[in-house]
Every structure is written in C-alpha cells, then in structure tokens.
Amino acid sequence: MTDGQHGHRDPAGRAAQGPGRRQVLRYGAATAGALGVATLPDAVPAVAAGRRQGWSVAVLGAGVGGLTAAHELAERGYQVTVYERKALGGKARSIPVPGTGTGGRRDLPGEHGHRGVFGFYHNLPDTLRRIPYPGNVHGVHDNLTSVPWIAFARDDGRADLPIPTTPFEGRTLDVDALRRMLVGAVQQLFHLPLHEAAFFARQLAILMTSSRERAFGQWEHVKWLDFLAVEGKSTEYEKLFGGGAQVIQALKPEDASSRTCGQGVEAILFSLLQRGTDGPSNRIFNGPTSEAWIDPWARHLRSLGVRFAMDHTVDALELSGGRITAARAATPAGPVRIEADWFVAAVPAERARALWSAPIRAADRRLAGMDRLRTTWSHGIQYFLRRPVPVVQGHVAYIDSPWSLVSVSQSQFWRSDFPRTWGDGQARDSFSVVVSDWDAPGALYGKPAKRCTRQEIAAEVWAQMKAALEDTGRTYLPDDVLHSWFLDPAVSGTGGPEPANDEPYLLNDAGSWEHRPDAATAIPNLFLAADYVRTYSNVDFTSMETANEAGRRAANALLDAAGSDAGRVRLFAGYRPPEFEAAKLLDATRYRLGLPHILDTPWPLP
C-alpha cells in the first residue's frame, strides 16, 4: 500500500499535519491589510476544493507539474482538486484523431511530438515508478522502452550517421547499422574543418568546467550562437553545432543562453556515457503517451482522493488580506468561484502571468518579471503509414532541414499491434515528427511553417524528410505509403494573417533565468508548478523533467508553509563529474577576481 493509503504518513510513520489555527492566524497577521481585490458578483457559484479546514488544495492546471503536485500532496493527506481547461497531461498528453477508429479500434493516436525520457531525468522516473500499472512491477516506468539509436540525416548526398545511445554490451551487434555508422562518420565529420572542431571542443570544455557563479553570472547572458562564434565559421560548423542537430526542441540556438544549451549538451553526453543516469540514455513509452502514462496516472490520483474538474479555464485570482482567497474560472455552465486553503498555479507561463493582477504583482514583485519570458513553437505532426517504415531504431535529426525536424517511427516500440488497435486497420505505423522552427522558409514552398496551410505543412515536412533520407538512392518514404496525417491542433490559423498557437513552449533565451520565479511566492498560500519555475536538482530547460521537479518543489513549499511534519518530497540531484570539481573551484576564484575562464583565451586564426 502507498503512504496515502496508510492514512497520510511520512516515511518515519508520523501523521501528516495540516496548518493549525495559530499558523493560519500567523500568516494572516503577517500580511494583513496588504492588498485586496474586488469580489465576484453574488451570482457566481462557489466551488470548494475540500472539506477539512486547512487541508484543501486547488491545483490550477493538469499538466505534468500540476499532476505531480497533486500526486505528492494527495499522498500526504491533502484534499486536492485539479482544475483543467482542456485535457489531463497538458502538452505531454496524446491527442486522439477524432473519428478515425472503426471496427472497435481506438482513434489514431496523435501527439504533440515524440516523447523522449532521457537518462539524465531522475525526478520524473521516480514518479513513473509510483504509478501502478497492471502486470508491471515498477508501475508505469516499466512502460518505457530503450531507444538504441539516434541518426543524423543530411540532404547533400552524404550517408546518414547513426549513433548508438546504449552500450553494445548485452545486445546483438547490428552489422548493417555499424557499417552505416562508420560510413556516415567518415563522410560527415571529415567535412568539418579540424580547427573548428577543436574550437567547439574548447568551448564545450569551458562550459563543463565553469563554476556555478560564472555559469549564471556570465554564460546565462550569452547567446549560444555567440558563444560558439558561429559567424565566420563554415556552413558545416553552423549546421552541426549551431542548431541543425536540435534534439531538445524547445532550445533555440539563436536565442538560448549558453548556460542552458551547455547544460543540455553536458547532460546528454554523460547520459550516453551512462554516468549518473536513471537508466538508458533515451527511452520512449511502449504505446501512446496517454495510454501508457497519463490515463494510469489519473486513475491512481483518483484512488488517492484527487478530484478533477474539467472544462475550467481559470482567468483570475482573488487576493485579500495578503492571501489568495479564491480563483475564478469560466466553465460551459458559467463562471465559478473556486475556494481552497492553498492554491498551486500549474498553468504555463503565458497563462500564469495573465492571472497576476496589479495587487498580486505588488504582493510579489518577482511575478511581474515573468512578462519578459518568451515562448516558442515546437509542435508535432504524425504521418500514419500503410506499412512500417523503421528508418532507424530510434530518432532521426534532420540537420539540413529548414524547419529543424526530428522524427521517430513510434510504433516499432509499441507493445500493441498497431492496425488491430488503432484506426481503420489500414494504418500500420505512426511516424512522429517535431517541427521546431516555424519561422524559417521551407524548401518546397519557400514559406515559413506559420505562413503555410496545414496541407502545405504536411507536404513540406514530408519533402524535407525525403530530401535527407533519400539523397543516397535508398527509398524510405514512398508517397504511396502515406495513409493520413495529423497536425497538432494547438496550432491554428496557419497560412492566414494571424497564425496562433494555443500551447507554446517556454523559450530558455539568454537572461531568462532572472525572470523565472521559484515555486514558493511571497503570497503565503500561492505556489507555482510549471516548467517556467526555477529548478535546481538536475536541468532547468523546458521539459517534462523540469515540470515534474517544479511540482515537487511546489508541494514541498506548501508543506513548509503549512508547518506539516509529513515527509518532504524527494528531489534528485543531477550528476556532477568529480574530475571537474577542482577546475570549477579554481574558476569560482577567477570569476570573483574578475578574470576569464582559464581556457578562455584568444583563438588563433586558421
């Protein structure tokens, strides 16, 4: 039985405690009379999030961050209600294609994009292990399957480069894959000038041996392309290191901070080396994300007493006496007023900052800094194919594609037989692609994705993949294999004057760390749980891992504010290579003295 089923006890066996009357009065006295807002009209019904005084929690948003906070708090005895405007899981959910299932099959499974669970994730895997799943010893975590390869595809006649993401030890050696890897390495890497490769290696070494002080004080404010000195370098250098191989889609090289990009490169590198990892360096679920993860999670949360209120679009928060007294939401039945003792705002950045009224911003001035956070487009299109097309047993990054594409033939990793389970029985494969650059002109129509119709986007992505995969004479994507396609419905109005995106991603651009708040706010009963929240355990770029960590931190902050003696939520530290500690200590001293990194010296011209 879980802790929640044992009557809300922490690992030491102590009963979890909600805030006592003295605590509530102390919080109120500390901020009494600070600021207030107008109340709602009497006609608006009130919705209570719980019954026991001091124990009710309203989680606003059902993405990974919100569901994580709900999970942790419900296990510790809190009465949690989650309010969501769309569907459980947020951007991590699957999106069934309406009306495509026939003969008792389920609708074809759409996604926001391929779903990767990297080896350097630690917080998220811990949650996955704690979600029961029939027949699985380790719960939903056992629904993850290793992705053994990633391929870098070019469209200039050079062989593609497949790279193993798991050690060869313990698995059969694929001779053909090994041959392709060697041929691709020779044909691709020898096009890169040696002095440019050495320069990139030097820059990466600087980032990996920089102190935390320099990372946040200097590299956070330098754009990745500037740090790599892309201007003046070869086209090959720019494509390889400046963004063509964009495995982490929400990081845009032209805007992202060097600290964040370096953090991602370092995490992936050590994950490939199997140092400090939770498991294989790259995994995906063995079925559509919602079926393999989100739906079982919702069932488990309901078993812990969590309630879900769907079709609730939260549009305002009330502040009175220095505390949030209610949230307001629009529903199909009309406006409602949500009452609770504690509030966890788990909506994305662009929606959260719309909730920060002038009084709320005055109560916590850091929330106003969120106005400077930017978002980006990074969305998926699925091609459903009449026969399986396993280009490679893993992901493919299309380095030369104008729209920075990454794909994966998903169903080769799925447990269920595709044509018997989904669709009309004619579709046999789900080929999932993420489009990360919506502003660059395409190769087929010469227009950015935002300016293309949905049909043009589907044709353009297909053409860009064929240009990379079939430039050496081998046919991977014959046109007759295409059954249908499905573009993320969050994107709308493309091809028209006002393209829109209902679910953008946070952009980790240079300097954005300073504008990101922590999970605890200056308002004592308001907490934040989304991927824009500062995270410290492992990585902090937009991902399911950071959203999960933010939810954990929000739960801990609430427990602290409540004076609870329940066990705190575990936070997992990222890997720190011991070999670099001495170099980082030296660099911390140099940074305090105003000196550059010891390796940061003028680079000789070739």
Mean pLDDT of 52-81: 95
Distance CA 538, CA 345 (A): 22
pLDDT of residue 10: 32
pLDDT of residue 405: 94
Q: What is the CA radius of gyration of the chain?
A: 25
Q: Where are the domains of the chain?
A: 31-85+311-372+515-562, 103-124+139-150+280-288+378-501, 168-273+576-592
Maximum separation of any 2 CA atoms in the chain, in Å? 76
What is the C-alpha end-to-end distance of the chain, expressed in Å? 65
Amino acid at 282: N
Model confidence pLDDT, tens digit, residues 428-443:
999 999 999 999 999 9
- Count H helices and E strands in the chain, helices first: 17, 25
- When the candidates are 2.60.40, 1.10.20, 3.30.9, 1.10.150, the CATH number that belongs to 103-124+139-150+280-288+378-501 is 3.30.9
Distance CA 227, CA 242 (A): 10
Mean pLDDT of 135-152: 94
Is 424's pLDDT higher than 60?
Answer: yes
**Confidence category of residue 484, pLDDT binned at 50, 70, 90:** very high
Q: Taking Cα atoms as reference points, which of 115, 519, 603, 98 lies closest to residue 345?
A: 519
Is 36's pLDDT higher than 50?
Answer: no
Distance CA 323, CA 152 (A): 52
Least confident of 48-57, 269-278, 492-501, 542-551: 48-57
Q: Which residue has the higher pLDDT, 10 or 254?
A: 254
Model confidence pLDDT, tens digit, residues 281-334:
999 999 999 999 999 999 999 999 999 999 999 999 999 999 999 999 999 999
Q: Taking Cα atoms as reference points, which of 550, 554, 521, 556 lies closest to residue 538?
A: 550
pLDDT of residue 523: 98
pLDDT of residue 54: 83
Asked if 18 and 8 count as a contact pair (C-beta separation under 8 A), the reply is: no
Cross-strand pairs, 316: 328
Residue with tokens 């929640």: 4
Per DSSP bridges, beta strands 379-385 and 429-435 are antiparallel
Query: Please, where are the H alpha helices in 34-118?
Result: 64-75
Tokens encoding 323:
């505390």
**Confidence category of residue 391, pLDDT binned at 50, 70, 90:** confident
Distance CA 228, CA 196 (A): 10
pLDDT of residue 192: 81
**DSSP label at residue 507:** E
Percent of the chain exceeding pLDDT 70 equals: 86
Model confidence pLDDT, tens digit, residues 152-206:
898 888 777 888 887 644 444 455 555 555 555 555 556 788 888 888 889 999 9
Q: Which residue has the higher pLDDT, 447 or 27?
A: 447
Mean pLDDT of 484-511: 95
Superfamily of domain 31-85+311-372+515-562: FAD/NAD(P)-binding domain (3.50.50.60)
Q: Which residue has the higher pLDDT, 362 or 193?
A: 362
**Confidence category of residue 94, pLDDT binned at 50, 70, 90:** very high
Is 59's pLDDT higher than 60?
Answer: yes
This model's pTM is above 0.85? yes
User: Mean pLDDT across the chain, nearest whole number?
Assistant: 87
Residue with tokens 């389920």: 106
**Confidence category of residue 369, pLDDT binned at 50, 70, 90:** very high
